[in-house]
Structure 1
Amino acid sequence: MRPPRLGTGLSVLVLTAVACIPVAQADPPADPPATPPSAADVRHAQDRAAAAGDEVVAVRRRLADAAAELDAATIRAGRAAEAWNGARWTARLARDAQRRATADAASAEQTLAVHKEAFRDALITAQGMGLDLSVVDVLVDAEGIDALLEESSANEHVQALFDQRREEYVASSAAAASAADTATAAAVEADRALAEARAARDEARAAARHAAIVTARIEGRRTRLVRRLARLQGVSVAVARAHQAAVDAEAAAEAAADAKAAEEARHGQDDGKSSKTVDPADPADPADPAPAPGDGAEAAIAFARAQLGEPYEWGAAGPSAWDCSGLVAKAWAAGGKELPHYSVAQYEQSTPITRDQLRPGDLVFWAEGGPDSIFHVALYVGGGQIVHAPRTGRPVSEESIDYWRTPDFFARP
């Protein structure tokens, strides 16, 4: 008997059951090994990296060029502003001299009038005749005056008195004429100084406008360059800006170190050893010595710091805007010492010192040569910091003494 044939449905069930029985899974095939870059690929990547590095260098160079351009504009504006301050100061001195000369001339005229009347009285006594003051000038120079006296009956006492009065009159007349000439010359000098001050004012105004334009343009360029630098380095703009600031600070620190080394070399002893001459009264440690009690430095510093954040304005000396020498002058006025609103004169009227001798309240100067080329001044507040009115576009600030160029001169009011 044949066994019964399995139906189609049963076959499907069997196959389905068999299919549902778990079986071991094979591992998926591994990824094919990466194809190593070709020499061309390596060269291309290296070229891209080199190009990016070159562009970073180029951007940094352009940033340095922008800083140099801003620096030049700042110096020009500072020189022009201080030239105006100097011209104003000179004009003020000339006006004061004119006033004194005019007063001296008036006093000499009064003295002349007194001696003229005394001389007339002496003539009257000697000649026994009445004389009007208007003829005294004629008589004193007349060839016949001696003849008049010889014919007079004046005794020796009258003659001596007459001679004395005549000498007084002649001397006072010469003094009055000289004083009048001096007053005239002083007036001419005052007018000249005023004209120069006006010309310096116009030049300072033009330089300040130019500096403002350059500042705005340079700041915009720097912003664009820093953004480009951030993209090239794959960092945020804030990081790129901070890094660039660090680069600038490092350059300033190197310049300051070079300047200090040069100054120490200038003050070196003949044996080549480090040379600093130390005053026995100076502290042994390098910390800033405290201001002398009652010298006004603390009040000057407090005043300067109270102006932090107020705007720079060329020629300004407060109450809410400042230029560099105006801020220093008013700060030290608060400290009880009068300084001109002119950085060159501030140096000339102070005691020169070295950087190593700086203490709070001293003055720090920048120049392009000797002291007569000073164009910027700041107030040293200790700890390597200064307070100053930097330039157009930057308010009164407290920052490192080496924030910019290395200072050239130092002085104590």
Structure 2
Amino acid sequence: MAASLTVACALVAGLTVAAHADDDSPVPTRSEVRDARAAAQAGQRDVAGVRAELAAAHDAAEQTQVRAAKAAEAYNGARYAAGQARDKAALARAAEVDATAQVRRLGVTYRRAALNTYTGANELAVVDSVLEADGLSSLLDELGSARMGQQALGSRAEAFHEAEDAAAAARDRADKAKAEADAKAAAAQKAHDQAQALADEAVQAEQAAAAREKQLVAELARLQGVSVRLAQSREDGLARKAAEAAAERAARAEQARREEARREQSRRDELARQERVRQQAARDRADRQDRQDQQDQQEDTPDPAPAPDPDPAPAPSPSGGAAAAVAFARNQLGEPYVWAAAGPDQWDCSGLTMGAWSAGGKSLPHYSVAQYEQSTPISASDLQPGDLVFWSDGGPSQIYHVALYAGNGMIIHAPRPGKPVTEESLYYWITPSFYARP
């Protein structure tokens, strides 16, 4: 801008000199002044345009990084679902094994009972058929054809058939569970590949943005007539102030929302108190009337007054593990973000919160949606150190980022590819969507 203004001033000065040389034009014309101003304004627009492009480059790289982080958390979700499916398949297969073993046990019991029942010489043929039967089904046919319909054998046969049916059903469930586990494993692999592709894209975008930023800052330095280092320092300062201002606005908005929520809660508490007073007064009147009626009937013992309503339970306080969780997370500051990582020296968002709360004595899954589902939802006004803060594109099922609340309006989190574990304002980015306490 300084350079542009210099050009404009030189243009105006040149016009003035020309006017002195020409007696017919002692001063610059209005059109000449407008042209000079337009030249200066064009320089200003150039600076603004470069800054806009610089902001757009940052935003594009940021959005790519966010997409990569979302894909990484989607992979964590697919991996979590695949693990659950594997566990379900293992249980189903174990049930199938137990059911098959039960069939074998009942078969042995049935054979022995049949042999013990038929011991006469006229029944040797039946015994031979029992011994030679090539399977339990054919055995039952042989026994049936030999009129072995005694009640004990009949009940054993019924139990055997029920066990066979149960084993077949267990086998079917195990096969379906395995198919589901295979499908979930394939989905997890697909999510892995997508996350890897977006992570690679994010790295490329970060590099391209850095290169473009270098070019744009050099262009700004030329337009402003300053060194590149000074131009970079100015832009960094402006970006920092803009981020701080945005965080301050978000914090004020959140504070206003909390104050409104507190006022609303106070109003509700007052209404509830008034209702309790009204109910107590009604009970007192009823008690007085009862006592008066009893006195009229020469009954001096009144009914005991009802106990007052208990005080509301105090808000839950964070467990002792919360301090350990925050301390653990703070010890990881500066360590790199790596998608699907859960330590010991690299993390993604849900991997860090999982590791932190593991140090705090609680087990959380490596998946932000499941961490919310397995925690107790709270409001922003209830936040305490160690609580979890979530960002979502919609409802809880669309959560894609989680951070650990550190107190005093600060969070510790693994933000995204290219940015290490950091402690920063709760409102560094956009207002969180959900809050929960493990």
Pairwise TM-score range, normalised by the shorter structure = 0.7 to 0.9
Once the two structures are overlaid, the 10-residue window that deviates more, 260-269 or 393-402, is 260-269
Once the two structures are overlaid, the 10-residue window that deviates more, 244-253 or 121-130, is 121-130
Q: What is the SS of the residue equivalent to 2:148?
A: helix
State the superposition RMSD in angstroms.
Answer: 3.3
Which one of 99, 119, 122 corresponds to residue 110 of structure 2?
119
Which one of 322, 326, 347 corresponds to residue 297 of structure 1?
322
Q: What is the SS of the residue equivalent to 1:149?
A: coil
Which one of 236, 241, 254 corresponds to residue 241 of structure 1?
236
Which one of 328, 335, 346 corresponds to residue 321 of structure 1?
346
Q: What is the SS of the residue equivalent to 1:92?
A: helix
Distance (whole Å) between structure 1 residues aligned to residue 139 and residue 263 of structure 2: 73
- Tell me which protein shows more helix as a share of its residues: 2
Percent identical among aligned pairs is 44
1:59 positional shift: 3.1
1:108–1:175: 8 Å Cα contact kept in structure 2?
yes
2:88–2:177: 8 Å Cα contact kept in structure 1?
yes
**Pair 1:363–1:394, CA change in 2 (3 A):** same
Cα-to-partner distance string for 1:196-249 (whole Å, 9 max, x where unaligned): 111111111000000111112223333444555566566733233112221133
**Pair 1:71–1:406, CA change in 2 (3 A):** farther
The within-5 A match list for 1:374-385 is: 374-385=399-410
Distance (whole Å) between structure 2 residues aligned to residue 267 and residue 42 of structure 1: 60
The residue identity in structure 2 corresponding to 1:281 is P
Q: What is the SS of the residue equivalent to 1:386?
A: strand
The within-5 A match list for 1:42-121 is: 43=34, 46-121=37-112
1:101 positional shift: 1.4
1:226–1:241: 8 Å Cα contact kept in structure 2?
no
Under a length normalisation based on structure 1, what TM-score does the superposition of the two structures give?
0.77
Distance (whole Å) between structure 2 residues aligned to residue 37 and residue 212 of structure 1: 59
Partner residue, 1:409: 434
Q: What is the SS of the residue equivalent to 2:318?
A: coil
The within-5 A match list for 1:6-405 is: 38=28, 43=34, 46-128=37-119, 129-130=126-127, 131-132=130-131, 134-140=134-140, 142=141, 145=144, 148-149=147-148, 159-226=150-217, 228-229=219-220, 236-237=230-231, 238-258=233-253, 281=314, 292-294=318-320, 296-405=321-430
Under a length normalisation based on structure 2, what TM-score does the superposition of the two structures give?
0.73
The residue identity in structure 2 corresponding to 1:145 is G
User: Structure 2 regions of 5+ residues with no counterpart?
Assistant: 1-19, 21-25, 120-125, 273-311
Q: What is the SS of the residue equivalent to 1:381?
A: strand
1:264–1:274: 8 Å Cα contact kept in structure 2?
no
**Pair 1:64–1:380, CA change in 2 (3 A):** same
2:61–2:209: 8 Å Cα contact kept in structure 1?
yes
Distance (whole Å) between structure 1 residues aligned to residue 216 and residue 257 of structure 2: 34
2:350–2:366: 8 Å Cα contact kept in structure 1?
yes
| Rg (Cα) greater in structure | 1
The residue identity in structure 1 corresponding to 2:201 is H
1:230–1:239: 8 Å Cα contact kept in structure 2?
no
1:69 positional shift: 1.1
Distance (whole Å) between structure 2 residues aligned to residue 223 and residue 87 of structure 1: 39
The residue identity in structure 2 corresponding to 1:192 is A
Distance (whole Å) between structure 1 residues aligned to residue 413 and residue 250 of structure 2: 20
User: Structure 1 regions of 5+ residues with no counterpart?
Assistant: 1-34, 151-158, 283-288
Q: What is the SS of the residue equivalent to 1:379?
A: strand
**Pair 1:395–1:367, CA change in 2 (3 A):** same
Cα-to-partner distance string for 1:332-366 (whole Å, 9 max, x where unaligned): 11111111111111111111112111111111111
Cα-to-partner distance string for 1:114-165 (whole Å, 9 max, x where unaligned): 111112223334444532474422244x497287135xxxxxxxx3322332
